[in-house]
Amino acid sequence: MSQPTLKTHLNSTHKRPSISSPTVPMKKPKTQAAVAFSVDPLSPETNAGSGRATLFRKIPLPTQPTKKFVIKLTKAKPALPTNFEENTWAILKSAISSIFLKQPDFCYLEKLYQAVNDLCLHKMGGSLYQRIEKECEAHISIALQSLIGKSEDLGVFLSLVGKTWQDFCDQLLMIRGIALYLDRTYAKQTTNVKSIWNMGLQLFRKNLSIASEVEHKTVFGLLKLIDNERLGEAVDRTLLSHILKMFTALGIYSESFEKPFLVCTSDFYAAEGGKYMQQSDVADYMKHVELRLHEEHDRCVLYLDTSTRKPLLATAERQLLEHHIDVIPEKGGFVMLIDGSRIQDLQRMYMLFSRVNAIEYLRKALGSYIRKTGQGLVTDEEKDKDMVFSLLEFKSSLDKIWEDSFSKNDSFCYTIKEAFEYLINIRQNRPAELIAKFLDEKLRAGNKGTSEEELEGTLDKVLVLFRFIQGKDVFEAFYKKDLAKRLLLGKSASIDAEKSMISKLKTECGSQFTNKLEGMFKDIELSKEINESFKQSSQARTKLLSGIEMSVHVLTTGYWPTYPLMDVRLPHELNVYQTVVLMLFNDAQKLSFEDIKDATSIEDKELRRTLQSLACGKVRVLQKAPKGRDVADNDYFMFDDAFTAPLYRIKVNAIQLKETVEENTSTTERVFQDRQYQVDAAIVRIMKTRKVLSHTLLITELFQQLKFPIKPSDLKKRIESLIDREYLERDRNNPQIYNYLA
């Protein structure tokens, strides 16, 4: 081999040059250097006669430029042995084959690294790359073709695919390690040449598409395993994750797996959604949907690619929610959840509807429910006594649902207010009157068992209903009349509570609304001062009789209600049963039951009840012989001259008579008849929604909707009755299935 020659040029400064070593290969060849000195003949340091270079001390010559020396390295190409490339590749090919056959010999790795480096250094990288690519493709093709016709069991087949992929990755990593120099030089520096790893992935993808049976069977197996998992079976999630990562690495995840997977998901939940909507109530269906969405989210975390999460959840939501969004609120379950104040179930429904931008359906259902339910509370005149209390309870329950279930959504709050404003004004002036009377009841003395805080809370709640009243002047008139009675008769439970209510009304409606009410309080306070001054005067002490108390109210006419003047003439005898009976004892000391009956002509049952209240109750003005709780035909009654009471004014409560057996039976039959109507309506309502339903599911649904206890045998009778009246029919193929007849 020729040796490199080193030429050195010295400049006129005659400094020793620093020589940089050239880059040498791993096995350094022996070299010899020849140094030639070229000397400027005009330099004063040169002896022209001798022809040799003699070095003298440097004498600066400002008129001459400084000379620089240049080191030039020239390396002669070594001569390669015969068949160098073929022999080197034979070594590498044997190693690659051993790797694919899982028989690698790590003792010769250094030799293999050097072989790759030598080929690359001698510009043979391109040929080496192509040979490695061809060798890898041959082994990949054999590996994939061997999977064709393998086990019919999908789990076993997927395991084989996963093992083939794992082996290939391990083998490719070892090959890349041996050819690392090739990867970092030729592959990196050459355009359109992939790295060895990417080249291997491309070959695997290419041969997998050629072995289409393997690819299709793998995808089918993945979809089947996921379907089985959705049906409750345990599957190997690690295997699923491994193979799906293979699809991702090969770049075929979206096209080969995700698209058919989303189609299968859509079909699966379309069938399941329709089935569960028929068989489950709304609450259970919402729980099932929530569970399914959690499962799909976990599936994305555990083995699906993260890019699948959004389209997967959207597919499940579309089939389980969007396609049934019109039916869910109208199915009756929403009403049942509201009536039962089932906060968690309503919250679940709200969150699920929010996911598909369908809370508007829920808001409309809420408004419809409030109006329909509230009308029953407001329009029924028989419930007038409890109307305000019922509305307060209804509003309180809705507010709790709004806060805890509907996330304090502003549109839902507006819906509640709008619906209540409609309800309060259905009967024009009547609700305003009843709200005023309710406040009168709460502010009156004798409202025991209520603390100041509870009373204040009640006033705040009533004020909410007051805001919805359109005819506030009606409320003012009734409130003013009742307030006048409380103030004049001293029946207010708390003056502080009275003033607090006036303050609330003033804040709500302005000072003009409460001007007269505030004037009434001023009159009462002024009257107290006048009365105290009068009692302290000398005239009161001298002219008023001892033991006589006098109280006078001085009132401003414009503040107080006006009362018409009436001439009252009291009758000689008062028409009240207790008074009629007692007046008989003005002329007799002892009377029998028959005597009293003949003298008063009072109906038998009413007379017995009246005598019970006078002789057998807590306040016994009469004495009965013989003693006992019941009044018999042969009983005698005497006026009790020794009767005393600590109060000037006493009240004799009427005794409630016990129901007879006949009356009890009649009442029971009437209740049962009413319940039959309710059961019939519930059955028709459920079947109209479901269309087709089994006997067991229908009974279960009825037990959930009906608010009273009932036996299954009675429900069966009502179902038979509806079948006879052609509301329902039994299925021809299964007598346990009922069909609704429109």
**428-443: pLDDT as tens digits:** 778 888 888 888 888 8
Instruction: Determine the residue type at 81.
Output: P
- DSSP classification of residue 48: T
13 and 64 share one domain: yes
367 and 487 share one domain: yes
Give the pLDDT score at 76. 56
Phi then psi dihedrals of residue 352, to 5 deg: -70, -40
350 and 474 share one domain: yes
Position of tokens 């090919």? 93
Pick from 221, 46, 93: nearest CA to 147: 221
Residue 660 lies in a domain: no
Give the pLDDT score at 74. 58
When the pLDDT of each residue in the chain is averaged and rounded to a whole number, the result is 80
Long-range contacts of the stretch 249-253 (C-beta < 8 A, 24+): 249/201, 250/201, 250/204, 250/205, 250/208, 251/201, 251/205, 252/205, 252/208, 253/305
What does the alpha-carbon distance between residue 437 and residue 483 come to, in Å, rounded to a whole number?
Answer: 10
Three-state SS letters, 216-248: HHHHHHHHHHHHHHHCCCCCCHHHHHHHHHHHH
626 and 589 share one domain: yes
Q: Find the CATH number of the domain harbouring 594.
A: 1.10.10
- Which of helix, strand or coil describes residue 532? helix
Q: Which of 17-21, 609-613, 718-722 has the highest mean pLDDT?
A: 718-722
Residue 485, pLDDT above cutoff 90 = no
In sequence order, the β-bridge partners of residue 350 are none
- For residue 303, CA distances in Å to 244, 290, 332 come to 7, 20, 39
392 and 508 share one domain: yes
Residue 244 lies in a domain: no
Residue 356 lies in a domain: yes
- Which of helix, strand or coil describes residue 540? helix
- Return the structure tokens found at 132: 């490695």
Handedness of CA 104, 109, 113, 119 (dihedral sign): negative
Task: Find out whether 227 and 268 touch, Cβ atoms under 8 Å.
Answer: yes
71 and 99 share one domain: no
- Stretch 705-715: mean pLDDT, rounded? 75
Task: Find out whether 141 and 134 touch, Cβ atoms under 8 Å.
Answer: no
Give the pLDDT score at 58. 46
Handedness of CA 534, 536, 539, 542 (dihedral sign): positive
What does the alpha-carbon distance between residue 566 and residue 577 come to, in Å, rounded to a whole number?
Answer: 26
In sequence order, the β-bridge partners of residue 623 are 638
Residue 715 lies in a domain: yes
- Return the structure tokens found at 439: 């406040």
pLDDT per residue over 318-353, tens digit each?
A: 999 888 888 877 776 788 888 888 889 899 989 999
Position of tokens 């068989």? 279
Q: Using alpha carbons only, what angle is made at residue 605 by residues 603 and 610, rounded to the nearest 5 degrees? A: 90
Task: Find out whether 679 and 706 touch, Cβ atoms under 8 Å.
Answer: yes
Pick from 152, 167, 151, 295: nearest CA to 237: 295
Residue 648: band (very low, low, confident or very high) from pLDDT cuts 50, 70, 90: low
Phi then psi dihedrals of residue 646, to 5 deg: -75, -15
What does the alpha-carbon distance between residue 207 and residue 215 come to, in Å, rounded to a whole number?
Answer: 10
- Return the structure tokens found at 286: 């919402």
Give the pLDDT score at 607. 80
347 and 464 share one domain: yes
Task: Find out whether 264 and 224 touch, Cβ atoms under 8 Å.
Answer: no
pLDDT per residue over 76-120, tens digit each?
A: 556 778 888 899 999 899 889 989 988 866 557 888 889 999 899
Give the pLDDT score at 196. 92
What does the alpha-carbon distance between residue 590 and residue 594 come to, in Å, rounded to a whole number?
Answer: 12
Distance of CA 487 to the CA centre of its chain: 52
What does the alpha-carbon distance between residue 435 and residue 444 come to, in Å, rounded to a whole number?
Answer: 14
Domain that holds residue 463: 327-531
Helices (H) and strands (E) in the chain, counts: 30, 8
In sequence order, the β-bridge partners of residue 693 are 738
Residue 271: band (very low, low, confident or very high) from pLDDT cuts 50, 70, 90: very high
- For residue 277, CA distances in Å to 65, 93, 162, 285, 339 come to 101, 64, 39, 7, 21
Handedness of CA 609, 615, 619, 621 (dihedral sign): positive
3-state percent breakdown (helix, strand, coil) of the chain, nearest 5: 60, 5, 35
Pick from 388, 319, 407: nearest CA to 356: 319
594 and 695 share one domain: no
Residue 372 lies in a domain: yes
What does the alpha-carbon distance between residue 690 and residue 738 come to, in Å, rounded to a whole number?
Answer: 10
Task: Output the furthest CA–CA distance in the chain (Å, rounded).
Answer: 184
Pick from 235, 260, 237, 258: nearest CA to 248: 258
Residue 14: band (very low, low, confident or very high) from pLDDT cuts 50, 70, 90: very low
- Return the structure tokens found at 91: 């070594």
Residue 198, pLDDT above cutoff 50 = yes
343 and 482 share one domain: yes
Pick from 357, 228, 405: nearest CA to 299: 228
Residue 285 lies in a domain: no
CB atoms within 10 A of CB 552: 8
Tell me which of 219-228, 263-272, 291-300, 336-345 is least confident: 336-345
73 and 174 share one domain: no
367 and 472 share one domain: yes
Task: Find out whether 390 and 383 touch, Cβ atoms under 8 Å.
Answer: yes
In sequence order, the β-bridge partners of residue 739 are 692, 729
- For residue 58, CA distances in Å to 9, 45, 49, 256, 447 come to 17, 8, 20, 82, 125
What does the alpha-carbon distance between residue 141 and residue 208 come to, in Å, rounded to a whole number?
Answer: 8
pLDDT per residue over 653-700, tens digit each?
A: 656 444 444 543 443 454 466 668 878 888 998 988 888 989 989 988
What does the alpha-carbon distance between residue 123 and residue 125 come to, in Å, rounded to a whole number?
Answer: 6
Q: Find the CATH number of the domain harbouring 719.
A: 1.10.10.10
Preceding amide of 25 cis, omega within 30: no
Residue 439 lies in a domain: yes
Task: Find out whether 148 and 155 touch, Cβ atoms under 8 Å.
Answer: no
Residue 295: band (very low, low, confident or very high) from pLDDT cuts 50, 70, 90: very high
Residue 643: band (very low, low, confident or very high) from pLDDT cuts 50, 70, 90: confident
Give the pLDDT score at 544. 66
What does the alpha-carbon distance between residue 586 and residue 571 come to, in Å, rounded to a whole number?
Answer: 17
Residue 645: band (very low, low, confident or very high) from pLDDT cuts 50, 70, 90: confident
Task: Find out whether 654 and 607 touch, Cβ atoms under 8 Å.
Answer: no
Give, for 590, the enclosing helix (H) or strand (E). Answer: strand 590-592
Distance of CA 426 to the CA centre of its chain: 35
Give the pLDDT score at 19. 32
Domains in the chain, number: 5
Pick from 511, 532, 519, 448: nearest CA to 487: 519
Residue 365 lies in a domain: yes
Could you say which of 531, 558, 593 is where a domain stops? 531
What does the alpha-carbon distance between residue 212 and residue 145 come to, in Å, rounded to a whole number?
Answer: 10
Give the pLDDT score at 334. 82
What does the alpha-carbon distance between residue 618 and residue 623 come to, in Å, rounded to a whole number?
Answer: 12
Q: Find the CATH number of the domain harbouring 390.
A: 1.20.1310.10
Could you say which of 40, 59, 79 is where a domain stops? 79
Length, in residues, of the chain: 742
pLDDT per residue over 33-76, tens digit each?
A: 333 333 343 333 333 343 443 333 444 545 555 666 676 665 55
Task: Find out whether 144 and 208 touch, Cβ atoms under 8 Å.
Answer: yes
Burial class (CB in 10 A: 0-12, 13-18, 19+), 434: buried
Tell me which of 42-56, 549-563, 715-729 is least confident: 42-56
411 and 486 share one domain: yes
pLDDT per residue over 131-152, tens digit each?
A: 999 999 999 999 999 998 877 7
Task: Find out whether 174 and 97 touch, Cβ atoms under 8 Å.
Answer: no
Could you say which of 79, 111, 127 is where a domain stops? 79
Which residues have CB under 8 Å from 61's CB, separation 6+? 44
Pick from 550, 444, 544: nearest CA to 489: 444
